[in-house]
Amino acid sequence: MSRVKLLCLPYSGASAMVYSRWRRSLPDWLAVCPLELPGRGARLGEPLQTDMGALARQLALESLPDLDRPYALFGHSLGALLGFEVAHALRELGAPAPLALFASGTAAPTRREDYEKDYSQPKSDAELVVELRDLQGTPEEVIANEELMSLTLPILRADFLMCGLYRYRLRSRLDLPIHVLGGKEDKSSMEQLLAWQEETSVGFSLDMVAGGHFFIHDHEAKVLRLIRNNLSVHLRRVRHFSAMAADG
């Protein structure tokens, strides 16, 4: 089976490292390729970004030379919205379409009213700590570590602001399937998740996973199984049509 690149976009405050362990859990035909965002990890020296459209275009331009084989996009929370914008940016650049977009843990682009209300202004350190505790994805010992927080909070502040400043632009639907994953105890409503189907002209699915916002870690095996199973179907379909075209 052909190798597929899975371009993974991190959630707010995170670096590409959050996806590193996936390499050990996915089959050899799926190559996990986390995309690092400016201002963290290997790109720590670059300025943080709060303009979603500009960042999406930057990531699309950086990824374009390496899209020499089938690929898909996966993003969680902020990463899902960013993955959606990267897909549009790649289409504008004339790139081949991804096999699919996996949008995990966030409301559809047209249903961002909560984010616009709650995140459109920079948050204080104290407000960010409250958010971290509410999301239940950061151990207390990390929150209590001043050195770690001094590195994390500016990134989190910029990422939350990027979500709050995001404004949806009406464009033609993406010509690729969108697979949405939601946490059963997460704050996004069923209506907000189902609205993702308005963004694709090809196919849509919604799978609800046990857990809160960080279900991708708490129930990693199920998340990876959903990714693997969907991509194997899409890849077989691509190979089938390629073989038909060659025969014709």
The mean pLDDT of 163-177, rounded to a whole number, is: 95
Judge whether residue 242 has pLDDT over 70.
no
Say whether 77 is catalytic: yes
* Fold held by 4-112+174-247: Rossmann fold (3.40.50)
Taking only the tens place, the pLDDT of each residue in 6-63 is 999 999 999 999 999 999 999 999 999 999 999 998 999 999 999 999 999 999 999 9
Q: How many helices (H) and strands (E) does the chain have?
A: 9, 6
Of 50, 49, 212, the residue nearest 132 (C-alpha): 212
Contact 73, 56 (CB under 8 A): no
Which residue in the list 12, 15, 77, 188 is annotated as catalytic? 77
Looking at every residue in the chain, the average pLDDT score rounds to: 92
Using pLDDT thresholds of 50, 70 and 90, give the confidence band for residue 203. very high
